[in-house]
Amino acid sequence: MGLKAGIVGLPNVGKSTLFSALTKHQVEASNYAFTTIDPNISSVALKDQRLIELAKIVNPAKIVPATFDFVDIAGLVKGASKGEGLGNKFLSNIREVDAIIHVVRCFENKDIMHVANEINPVNDKNVINYELMLADIETVSNVINRISKKAKAGDKSALLEYNLAQKIKQTLEKEMPVRSLLQSLSDEEAKLIKTYHLLTAKPVIYVANLSTEQISNYANDKLFNELKNSLAKDEKIIPISVQLESELAQVDEAEANEWLSSYNISLSGLDILTKESFDLLKLKTYFTAGPMEVKAWTFKDGMMAPQCAGLIHSDFEKKFIKADIISYENYIQYNGEQGARNAGKVRSEGKNYVMQDGDVCHFKFGK
């Protein structure tokens, strides 16, 4: 699908270390602001037990998981919307991603400098969000200036856009992100707002970066709870010890699981973050299964069968005839395609079929 989540935050909060742990890709991380200038991009495999279970039945030559792209974006600072700290460059990098992973420092460490010389997660979060809002205010102000003359002259499309831009600006001036009003927009407004590429319209997950000492009892941690309580009810927060995850990334899976158990953690924070990022963008997975490979394919919720076939090859969408579909549950229950076919569990679906998460597919197309 080519969708990306951008990792943002103040300098020295653990963004590059998190990116390295997520992607097993070492990037420069140091005790200085703006170590990262150009964004680093890497794909991360989504752990999906269904892929393993399908492979047990098919015994393919290879297994190909779904992937998700993460982008390590340099640290923003107060004044970024006015160009401070290379702010314009960094804001443009955020504009190009589909979701935001906002890393907030929730640990004390005198050896790691903080740009504000204090550990205050709520303030750190607000600094970043305020800069994103200021950048969005500038964007919609430019829209208002561009179309105000036409709108006042009674041009219908200009009037719609003018009113929308004013609504967005008023929301931002109340220090509320654009995503807070998305549900109230008409279809026409929703289509229009996408053309503005507004930063605070993007979905966000907050990562509370805790020390290894804090992570096992994060629910009672003062700094974590201050940050959590400052968020809106529908905003997600994930507690992660980036230091621990960085160390886990250097060992094999069995040893990593032992370490996690010693911290009373059942699942790696990185696995949780990858899955939550996937869900945040309303992504689903379908599978193709054959002797050459069992592969997971990522699609956007609501996509039709021909569009999903087009993810494999553009010709498959253009020449789509039908799709033979087996639900994952039936594929496992009846031990593969032939067993499902014998049990009457293979469905033949046409061009209007909305693909479902877990569908095992065989697409048929013309010449």
In angstroms and rounded to an integer, the radius of gyration of the C-alpha atoms of the chain is 23
Using CB atoms within 10 A of its CB, is residue 2 exposed (0-12), middle (13-18) or buried (19+)? exposed
CA 68 to chain CA mean position, Å = 8
Residue pair 65/103 in contact (Cβ under 8 Å)? The answer is no
Please give the Cα distance from 100 to 279 (Å, whole number): 13
Strand partners for 102: 8, 206
Strand partners for 28: none
269 is in an annotated binding site: no
**Integer angstrom CA distances of residue 266 from 182, 221, 252, 261, 269:** 35, 19, 16, 6, 9
HSE toward the beta carbon, residue 328, CA cutoff 13 A: 20
Residues in CB range of 284: below 8 A, 6 or more apart: 298, 299, 300, 301, 355, 356, 357
Residue pair 72/32 in contact (Cβ under 8 Å)? The answer is no
**Integer angstrom CA distances of residue 118 from 75, 107, 127:** 16, 11, 13
Angle, helix 121-152 to helix 87-95, in steps of 10 degrees:
80
Residues in CB range of 256: below 8 A, 6 or more apart: 248, 268
17 is in an annotated binding site: yes
Please give the Cα distance from 78 to 130 (Å, whole number): 8
The DSSP annotation for 71-87 comes to EEPPPP-TTGGGTGGGH
Please give the Cα distance from 203 to 179 (Å, whole number): 7
257 is in an annotated binding site: no
262 is in an annotated binding site: no
HSE toward the beta carbon, residue 246, CA cutoff 13 A: 17
Other beta carbons less than 10 A from residue 309's beta carbon: 27
Residues that constitute the known binding site:
12-17
Residues that constitute the known binding site for ATP:
12-17
